[in-house]
Amino acid sequence: MTTGALAPAQTIDRYLQFCEDRELEAAGRLLTQEPRLVFPGGAVYGSLPEMVADQRGRYRWVRKHRGPYFEGRTPDGLVTVTSLGTLYGEDMDGKPFEGVRYTDVFVLRDGLIAEQHVYNDLSETGTSTPVHG
């Protein structure tokens, strides 16, 4: 399955919005059959439900102020998209947070997300403890 006529950055923006809205089935349709989702602390997941279950308990909710997207290509022709921005949300104690930096790096194969690499400062701000995979 491909994402049709969507540009790579549009695919990523749609995926991130689906994830924020917890429309995991729709987000999952933008992933390859065996995606690799890498999160802070070395956690690696093979599906969105697996990631959501393991990340539960780190914060009550989190969303992204998405900034620019940068597109590129790997030497073997895969498309990469980097998303920069900040996180905002509520920690497990109900305390709001905002302005926490994030960078997500995606690798797309045939228009679908094959890899997602997540980097953020949540644990550095005391908002969340790192997950160790």
Q: Give 60-102 pLDDT, tens digit per residue.
A: 889 999 999 999 999 998 999 999 999 999 988 999 999 999 9
Measured CA to CA, the distance from residue 5 to residue 27 in angstroms comes to: 17
Protein fold of 8-120: Nuclear Transport Factor 2; Chain: A, (3.10.450)
- Evaluate if residue 57 carries a pLDDT over 70: yes
pTM, entire model: 0.88
State the average pLDDT over residues 105-132.
83
Q: Are 24 and 47 in contact (CB under 8 A)?
A: no
Quote the mean pLDDT of the chain. 89
Cβ atoms of 52 and 71 closer than 8 Å: no
Q: What is the pLDDT of residue 128?
A: 61
Q: Among residues 29, 17, 21, 114, which one has the least CA distance to residue 74? A: 114
Spatial neighbors of 56 by CB under 8 A, at least 6 apart, are: none
For residue 58, what pLDDT is reported? 79
Our measurement of the distance from residue 83's CA atom to the centroid of its chain's CA atoms, rounded to an integer in Å, reads 9
Stretch (H or E) spanning 61: strand 61-73
pLDDT at position 5 is 66
- Residue 83 · residue 106 · CB < 8 Å: yes
Could you state, in order of their start, the residue ranges of all structural domains in the chain? 8-120
